[in-house]
Amino acid sequence: MPTAERAKTIAELFEEFLSEQKPKQSAKTHAKYCCIIELFESYLESYWPGHNDEYSSVTKAGGSFCKTFGPTELLDGYGEFLGYFMPRKVMCGKETLRAAGTVTKKLAKWLAEKRYVDDVESAEDAHERAAEAAAELPAAQDVLDILDAFIDADPIDPARETLEDHFYVQRIEPGKLWLEPLTMHPDVIGPVPVPTAVTDRCQPMWDIAGVVTKTRRGWRFVEVWNVTP
């Protein structure tokens, strides 16, 4: 009887994906693809999405995440890679953030076309998340840059009531944000004045990490460290 073909590991899928794309790409584009796949691999090997409890047993046996698991686990990592790892852990510009969405979108489509995933719907969902990230991650970086410049131009001294937290955007009006602190305050705070360039780009439920303080004129940003779609 013929032996069933062994399922390919993530490492093998990455290698095959890049190998197939190379003849169709310029050297610059291929280098970009290699960079994003390397970042994705770094994320998977660091975070072990869905398999934290297996880290010790696999690594003690000389294995790794990408040489152990396959396409299903690869797709399971999309959300955290695009929504957390890229905007919060990777120091890069908008071009790399945009490329992360573009490359992972292409990868999800390729996995479905090659029938490496049985659940094509899962691949399509991952494809959609990647497409959204391709647009939203650079916009989030714009918001961070604009807020940084806004704060630097008119710095605010912290008042008695100061919150250091993650703030979810609950309401947006031109030049104003209403924010829901994750842990440090029970109520939505606002309006918090910001440039209209921020409210033009920002979306509900984006996460702004930083410090706000309550002055006599209301809540103001003191610092902003990160903006995540």
Q: What total number of domains does the chain contain?
A: 2
What is the share, in percent, of the chain residues with pLDDT greater than 70?
A: 97
Residue 4 is assigned to a structural domain of this protein: no
Looking at the fold, whether 30 and 46 belong to one and the same domain comes out as yes
What is the pLDDT, as a whole number, of residue 217?
Answer: 87
Residue 175 has pLDDT above 90, yes or no: yes
Q: Which residues pair with 218 in a beta bridge?
A: 215
| Residue range 10-39: mean pLDDT, rounded | 96
Looking at the fold, whether 159 and 143 belong to one and the same domain comes out as no
In tens, the pLDDT along 181-210 reads 998 788 899 999 999 999 999 999 999 999
Residue keyed to tokens 């990490």:
209
DSSP letter, residue 203: -
Q: What is the pTM of this model?
A: 0.74
209 within 8 A of 195, measured Cβ to Cβ: no
Residue ending a domain, choose from 127, 147, 167: 147
Looking at the fold, whether 85 and 172 belong to one and the same domain comes out as no
User: What CATH number is associated with residue 217?
Assistant: 2.40.50
Looking at the fold, whether 104 and 189 belong to one and the same domain comes out as no
31: containing domain: 10-147
User: Rounded to whole angstroms, what are the CA distances from 180 to 185, 186, 188?
Assistant: 8, 8, 4
| Residue range 6-32: mean pLDDT, rounded | 94
